[in-house]
Amino acid sequence: MSIALNLDHASATRPQVKSRKPLVGLSKPDLAQALVDIGISEKESRMRASQLWNWLYVNGATEFERMTNIGKGVRQVLADNFRIDRPEIVSEQVSTDGTRKWLFRFRDPASPNMPPVDVETVYIPEEDRGTLCVSSQVGCTLTCSFCHTGTQKLVRNLTAGEILGQMLMARERLGDFPGGQRPADGGLVPSGDNRAITNVVMMGMGEPLYNYDNVKQALLIASSGEGMSLSKRRITLSTSGVVPYIEPTGREIDVMLAISLHAVRDELRDMLVPINKKWPIKELLDACRNYPGLSNARRITFEYVMLKDINDSDADARELVRLLAGIPAKINLIPFNPWPGTNYDCSSSERIEKFADIVNRAGYASPVRTPRGRDIYAACGQLKSETERLSKKDRDALAAL
């Protein structure tokens, strides 16, 4: 059973003022510059930028009015020039297992006349952690054959502010900001931590490394001690294998890396994860070996979706172990989550166990990921919004980025 709420978020009725620049997602220097641009002195701007970051990311403010350490006059100037609103909530569903899925609606601040886009964000509470699964794009340009998101064309990249907006809105709904209310409808929060969201995974809709700059900017703010203060060890970026951006991810963002491997032979991986035709397994694993900061304490997670009679034989398991030799790695076996129209089936639990056994005996921890939120269609690879495609012209413009 799941509960679906349709919420009328306040911002839906707020008048949209075209020229107000969104502040969420700006680095501190960029924020200070935005203040200079509206006539605030450089010195004051630096101080205000720090105050604003604190209000936005630590206190979760959505109104300048709340910012009581900023004078009333300046607050008014800020409100006239900038926006700090969050996405609208189109729906919020709660699974019987406590998993929550939101459909968030964003309007593109750069083109306010374009139709809004919808993205899905999922919260997964467990005993010792609470993980937020965040989207990086609306749809995906890639077409992995077992992934529901892959059947939806790319609509557009999300901005850094929109990526952070998912985290901020989830925090608000889970009562994670100071003075916030925990959800009344049975939302479990992990024990031993005073925050509902302890981990973030870039495993929602989209390929994060095809939206590198915005993802980087968002994750640097999420992990900053003056921003959302999430430890970089608790942020994981999952990629299907965009090789040229793997090294920069480690060097510039320095978060944990997950690779959607799913096959051990190029011939099969070309079919399952077509980006493999561009960057085949050997190149991908070479990039992994050179991932900055890689060590036994900071392993790469290799994701492997278990597809019946496709990639789940004993020989596949042994080849997986052979391929990963020498790379500090964890292997995450994901039972395939079916969706309407797919031709794949999930491997049987006996087969998954046997596969896991071979991998375990080779010395790898290989947890089998328990599907969460299946009743609300929130499990891995099931996310797909109904947002329509943009015009060909807009898609071409995006592809040229």
Q: Kindly tell me which of 81 and 238 has the beta carbon lying closer to ligand SAH.
A: 238
Based on the shown chain and the rule CB under 6 A, indicate whether residue 67 belongs to the binding site for ligand SF4. Answer: no
Q: Among this protein's residues, is 147 annotated catalytic? A: no
Q: Among this protein's residues, is 42 annotated catalytic? A: no
Q: Kindly tell me which of 81 and 240 has the beta carbon lying closer to ligand SAH.
A: 240
Which residues in the 166-225 window bind ligand SF4 by CB under 6 A? 206-207
- Mask for 198-227, x = binds ligand SAH (CB under 6 A): -----x---x--------------------
Based on the shown chain and the rule CB under 6 A, indicate whether residue 164 belongs to the binding site for ligand SAH. Answer: no
Segment contacting ligand SF4 by CB under 6 A, of 35-43, 78-86, 144-152, 158-166: 144-152
Q: Kindly tell me which of 84 and 124 has the beta carbon lying closer to ligand SAH.
A: 124
Based on the shown chain and the rule CB under 6 A, indicate whether residue 305 belongs to the binding site for ligand SAH. Answer: yes
Cα(first)–Cα(last) distance of the chain, in Å? 43
Based on the shown chain and the rule CB under 6 A, indicate whether residue 337 belongs to the binding site for ligand SF4. Answer: no
Count CB neighbours of 209 within 10 A: 23
Q: Out of 22, 25, 130, 150, which residue is the one contacting ligand SF4 (CB under 6 A)?
A: 150
Catalytic residue IDs? 120, 380
Residues that bind ligand SAH (CB under 6 A): 144, 146-147, 203, 207, 238-240, 260, 303, 305, 334, 336-337, 380-381
Residues that bind ligand SF4 (CB under 6 A): 140, 142-144, 147, 149-150, 206-207, 240, 260
